[in-house]
Structure 1
């Protein structure tokens, strides 16, 4: 399938967007995480773009997309700016058609901003989240106010502690200068080896790996502390599906439990997989995405053929 490359103006940056699949097929937008670029989605794209219009883009600062510059560069990575980027990509590639949204890792974290923003209501037909919680839901869960953890004292605290331990790298990324030195001193060069050892995959070398890693630190620094201290009430306006790698060394499965307060009824599927399942098992991920898309298909007249979220379930695989 031929892949077209577009350049989309998102205000302060220009975004590289990659599109393939039949023009009249249901559109699916894929948002990548850290320290990746849109190339992480290529194995999944190959499974989807015979049936769907598949759109992926390098997020700001990654791949071939532009990066904010100047003294306000860090604030330019705040969640609301990332949501505006998604809107620009959707407007350029989907027009007024509703689209299905999929996020992995930071792509999932940032996509929650749109899925819970009333301005996107009616635009997002479904949302599939892989290894990336809503920061507001997670923070509210840690506070015992609902979302991402069981709320009885006997179970919430151990689960919260386990997630804090899994999230050691977040604290590291907030250190001044040290993460930059590690990435420059060989971290970027050794990244494929890290994935080979920890994930059992052999990714292609990304020439933008160092740039992805350095710019993407702003994703953490611009958002985590603020959301931890000031979580918001964020309610989803689209049906939500979690694909949950049960051997994820970074994101604990409990972060996708107990979210009915924010999401209503939602779908949750457990996978015997690790964090970079999008590379390790793209067929499984594409199958999960396709199934959810079909359940929430949108006719060309804009009316959903199914409507509403499907019943919540947890399926061990």
Structure 2
């Protein structure tokens, strides 16, 4: 009875969860179809612009380009995993007994994106750039289920246990970019004992990403390629058109590619990324990463316990730069965020030197010089190293490092005018001799000026004149008419017997032109009266 009651109470919750899952799958399918239509239109435009022959052409790459398979950037090795039996390829550089720094790449790259950091950190660490399962020179097991998220995390944990130091409790500094950063978040959260410090570049945590996309739908447009990769066989076809033109666009275009013109990828460096993708069966495995992304278990809610450094490009075309502060609010207080100005999504290729400085500061010391402190600067601007070892002279407190000039002896015996202050020296310019003063000469007092003195005393300024009173006007008295003068008043309306107050002047007026009589107009009672008062009289 209690079990049936409990099942009845949980039935509405299970129904809502099932409905939510169905709605999520339907929304994902709709987004995938829309993305497929949009990229199919791009492919149609490519076919019309270049023609079918050029659009379907695919260059054959038999030999690896220089630097990818040789020992230019490090020693190439393979590791056989005990759990899955896969053979993973990695490139290592640095002392064998040094602490391990594990570098994880993203899509569509391989270990080659870490070629600069391999050289920067090899003096202090045993740097290992790993080719993930199905990428680069590592083995590529067939099938979509071979690239589930839990299998990828198991591979990374086995690599840390096999190559990490010390032997009993292996740990590493874990660095990840793009898909490698997403895996680094999961490893640091689920296996914190294997990670000493965490560095993530342009890679979101799954939980933070889901909450951010709910508040900022514009991120859905930036991540449209993720929905495209949910479709079967179409992504492989679109990516391989015109010798991987879509991949070239991701890496080298003005909007999505590297922003710094001095760091643009050369054709040889671009071939290092396209070589493994162009091999038979080399394009589907990295796309399976995205196809299994929505089938994985829910992400951990707790932030990773190891200290974390988050690096983000301000011009990332695939991930909103506001994701960086969103992660900082979720992470622990010890986490740091650095936003690199005018940097794209491809930070390891575009900004290797600033990355080395920021990571070296985070790890305690520079990339190759552990004892040089770094001034913490503005977020996104790397610190400036301080040059140690230059002693500061005690005689020059204002300017450090410049020895002071010893002072010249002062000539004695010359009296100084009493009461004259000495100008104090500026800090840092001690030792400048002060010019000795001239003996004081008594000056007789100036007597006050007398009346007989030729020098006239100073007179005070004259006071301004008082203001004049306001001017008044008196009305003129009216003059009466002379006796015996009777004239016509100019105003006929007034009485003629009223005396004039002013002599009357006669004016000669010109005759008016003959007036034309206006025609009379009869009005009926039904007619509307006009309102022209100048022509017609006012009607009652």
Aligned equivalent of 1:127: 198
Task: Return the offset for 1:133.
Answer: 0.6
- Structure 2 partner of 1:246: 314
Give me the whole-angstrom Cα distance separating, in 2, the residues matched to 1:226 and 1:250.
22
1:222-270, CA deviations, whole angstroms, 9 ceiling, x for partnerless residues? 013656xx55424312111111101000111222223456421110001
Q: What is the SS of the residue equivalent to 2:90?
A: strand
Which range moved further: 130-139 or 181-190? Answer: 181-190
**Helix, strand or coil for the counterpart of 2:240?**
helix
Asked if the contact 1:192/1:202 (under 8 Å) is kept, the reply is no
Partner of 1:286: 356
Aligned mates of 1:112, 1:286 — CA distance in 2: 20
CA contact (8 A) 1:278 1:285 kept: yes
Find 1:78's aligned residue among 148, 165, 168.
Answer: 148
Q: Does the Cα contact within 8 Å between 1:17 and 1:57 map onto a contact in 2?
A: yes
Structure with higher strand content: 1
The whole-number CA distance in structure 2 between the counterparts of 1:238 and 1:103 is: 14
Aligned to 1:195: 251
Segment drifting more, 74-83 vs 255-264: 255-264
Superposed CA deviations along residues 201-231 of structure 1, whole A, max 9, x for unmatched, are 215112113355431011111013656xx55
Shift of 1:4: 4.1
2:337 matched residue in structure 1 = 268
Given that 1:139 and 1:231 are in contact with CA atoms closer than 8 Å, whether structure 2 keeps it comes out as no
What are the Cα deviations for residues 81-109 of structure 1, in whole angstroms up to 9, with x where unaligned? 11111111112211433210000011101
Matches within 5 A, 1:137-216: 137-142=208-213, 157=215, 160-186=216-242, 188=244, 191-192=247-248, 194-197=250-253, 198-199=257-258, 200=261, 201-203=264-266, 204=269, 205-206=271-272, 207-210=275-278, 212-216=282-286
TM-score by length of 1: 0.80
* Residue of structure 2 equivalent to 1:104: 177
In structure 2, the CA distance between the partners of 1:316 and 1:20, relative to structure 1 (3 Å rule), is closer
Compute the displacement of 1:293 (Å).
Answer: 1.9
Q: How far is 1:187 from its partner?
A: 5.2
TM value normalised by structure 2: 0.48
| Closer, same or farther: CA 54–174 of 1 in aligned 2, 3 Å | same
| Structure 1: unaligned runs, 5 residues or longer | 144-156, 296-312
1:136 to 207, 211, 216: 207
CA contact (8 A) 2:189 2:300 kept: no
Q: CA separation of 1:77/1:43 partners in 2, compared to 1, >3 Å: closer, same or farther?
A: same
Bigger Cα Rg: 2
Partner SS for 1:116: helix
Instruction: Assess, with a 3 A threshold, how the Cα gap between structure 1 residues 162 and 113 changes in structure 2: closer, same or farther.
Output: same
Is the CA contact 1:8–1:92 (under 8 Å) kept in the aligned structure 2?
Answer: no
**Structure 1's 314 and 262: CA in aligned 2 closer, same or farther, altered over 3 A?**
farther
Alignment partner, residue 20 of structure 1: 93
Task: State the alpha-carbon separation in 1 of the partners of residues 318 and 185 from structure 2.
Answer: 18
Give yes or no for contact 1:30–1:57 (8 Å, CA) kept in 2: yes
Conserved? CA contact 1:136–1:234, under 8 Å: no
Name stretches of at least 5 consecutive residues in structure 2 with no aligned partner.
1-72, 366-376, 382-540
Tell me which residue corresponds to 1:301: none
Aligned residue for 1:219?
289
Corresponding position of 1:34:
107
Instruction: Report if aligned partners of 2:312, 2:340 keep a CA contact under 8 Å in 1.
Output: yes
Does residue 257 (structure 1) correspond to residue 329 (structure 2)? The answer is: no
Pair 1:63-2:126 in alignment: no
SS at match of 2:193: coil
Which residue of the partner structure matches residue 116 of structure 1? 189
SS state of the match for residue 47, structure 1?
Answer: helix
Q: How far does residue 46 in structure 1 lie from its aligned partner after superposition?
A: 1.6
Any idea what SS the aligned residue of 2:326 has? Answer: coil
Q: How many residues align?
A: 279
**What is the DSSP-based 3-state SS (H/G/I as helix, E as strand, rest coil) of the residue aligned with 2:241?**
helix
Question: Which secondary structure does the structure 2 equivalent of 1:101 belong to?
Answer: strand
In structure 2, the residue corresponding to 1:315 is in which secondary structure?
coil
